Structure 1
Amino acid sequence: MTPALDQFISRLHKRGRLRVWSLVITIFGDAIVPRGGQVPLTVLQEIMARLRVEPGALRTALSRLAADQWVVREKDGRNSLYALDIHGHRAFDLATRRIYAAGPPSWDGTWTVAVSPPGNGKVGDRAAALANAGFVEAGDGTWLRPETAQSPEAGATLAGMLVFRQQPLQTPAAAASFWRLEETAHAYETFSAAIAPLANAMEKGHITPLEAIVSRILLIHDWRRIVLHDPGLPAALLPSDWPGDSARQTACDLYTRLAEPSEQWLDEAGLPPLLDPQKFAGRFGA
């Protein structure tokens, strides 16, 4: 298992300057929040050491996250405890539903179309907010999105626009071409190829609890980077050969195999038990 894991860790570092704060966010969201949301610094240090992240880089990342109101720090004797701030909890709640979803969101064919009135210059200022809410610009000042079970609330973003929400007379087969899906498809294909050696190594050999938690963090770190940039279209709008489906199944299979030994490591590290074991077991629809 070690060579395959080391290869995956090297891949993480070869992307350029490592954003340690983002890796910390992955650890919190995947492993700490389900156990109450608080973790000793020593636990983070042990995971990060196996990921070849220096203690100073971790401390800098935690300071940045605290300054940005993502985490709060408490002292417990000589040890430091870190927990999510309220802002961090809200962001995690929104992201978690997409990261661990069983598949594309359900959809009844309803679209929301938002049109900016002539001369309204505010749309340009909120283009990023519209895109983050799942909208795509279909023309000058006209935005649309399929209304799925995962669509976030966008009322404030749509203020001042003419908004329609209904099922159209027809939805063309090429409707997905409004979005640039090529890069997302390539990211899913790259992800599947990258984790294949890790999955194969786990099937053939023994894995330690520490290797399991580190592998799980790397898996979700890569996965969430793709999923949270994916427009999240329903299956009816996606190409029949969409690589996201097989990538999700691959992620699910590996995550399921890693769950027990990685949770063992968290138990041995002294973290509180899972708040909702059934909810945790249902990740990826397992």
Structure 2
Amino acid sequence: MNSASSQGFEASIAQLNDLQTLRVWSIIVSLFGDLAQNPGDQISGTTLTRIITPMGIKPEAIRVALHRLRKDGWIESARSGRASVHFLTKSGRNQSAAVTPRIYARDPKVPQSWHLLIAEEGSSHAALEDALLLPQYSQVNRCTALGYGTAPHGLDDLFVTAISDLKVPTWLQERLFPADLVLSCQSLLTVLNQISPAADLTPVQIATLRTLIVHHWRRIALRHPVLPEGFHPADWAGDACRARVFELLDLLPQPSLHALDQALAS
């Protein structure tokens, strides 16, 4: 790699780091979800460290984060010769798989049928909270949720009504797309538009950049529901941000775990 490429890589990392304070355990979850989500996939401790430390994260912080993820049932670790390897647990793989469609959908299909769930003030909130655990629901307020598709059975404690004509007031746009989410999306798009990956990046450097891009996009994609355009506030940059994320991921194709190990061995 030449000097200009190295400087460009470091500048891109610095710009992405400036977006927010990185939680190391969350970075590791994003990394495994992108690079090692399948059964049998494992990443050595050395590889993990080489991918993450360019983000300004120290090896000690990585070890602490791995300990937390093992305790929480996300990650398992084992010895392979003299080295440690890490891999997602079955629960970790299932949780990663559950959110993968939201994160990696290039052109998400907007549902055409909608319904409302309304809980009685002061009661039946448990039923509403249970419904909100399902991916098709977005909370409108303490007593109301908006869902797409057909309402599931077993919601007898809630008022359920189908919606055929959606009219969206400004206050609902702002509730579903709060100001901090809108600003985070705009900021990410600004940074992504300044990144131009060099063609001679190493597999490890590609993994570092991919992890940061996926991590920042994941935090946005999992916070906003897939809704018709009429729900979007005027300053929502979600569609443009999504398009730019995938332009960059296409320029940074996912390195294989074998390629990462080989890069470290050479």
TM-score (normalizing by structure 1) = 0.75
- Cα deviation, 1:87-145, whole Å, max 9, x if unaligned, reads 2112111211010001343312x22211223541x51796597287432235x62x132
Match of 1:172 among 164, 167, 174: 167
Aligned counterparts of 1:255 and 1:125: Cα–Cα separation in 2 = 39
Between 46-55 and 236-245, report the one with greater CA deviation.
236-245
Aligned 8 A contact 1:107 1:146 in 2: no
| 3-state SS, counterpart of residue 269 of structure 1 | helix
- Cα deviation, 1:179-226, whole Å, max 9, x if unaligned, reads 234433322221111122222x53xx6433332221111111111111
Where structure 1 has 5 or more consecutive residues not aligned to the other structure, the ranges are 272-286
Judged with a 3 Å threshold, the aligned counterparts in structure 2 of structure 1 residues 176 and 131 are, in CA distance, closer, same or farther, namely farther
In structure 2, the partner of 1:145 is 146
Match of 1:99 among 89, 98, 103: 103
Judged with a 3 Å threshold, the aligned counterparts in structure 2 of structure 1 residues 3 and 154 are, in CA distance, closer, same or farther, namely farther
| 3-state SS, counterpart of residue 201 of structure 2 | coil
Match of 2:259 among 244, 263, 268: 268
Aligned 8 A contact 1:4 1:197 in 2: no
Aligned counterparts of 2:17 and 2:184: Cα–Cα separation in 1 = 17
In structure 1, the partner of 2:194 is 197
- Cα deviation, 1:1-28, whole Å, max 9, x if unaligned, reads 3333323333455567531111111110
Identical-residue share of aligned pairs (%): 25
Query: How do residues 69-88 of structure 1 correspond to structure 2 at under 5 angstroms?
Result: 69-88=73-92
TM-score (normalizing by structure 2) = 0.81
Runs of at least 4 residues of structure 1 off by over 6 A?
153-156
- Given the alignment of the two structures, is residue 183 of structure 1 paired with residue 183 of structure 2, yes or no? no
Where structure 2 has 5 or more consecutive residues not aligned to the other structure, the ranges are none
Aligned counterparts of 1:17 and 1:78: Cα–Cα separation in 2 = 33
In structure 1, the partner of 2:248 is 254
- Cα deviation, 1:214-257, whole Å, max 9, x if unaligned, reads 11111111111111111332345435774111111111111001
In structure 1, the partner of 2:50 is 46
Match of 1:115 among 92, 115, 118: 118
In structure 2, the partner of 1:214 is 208
**Matched residue count:** 255
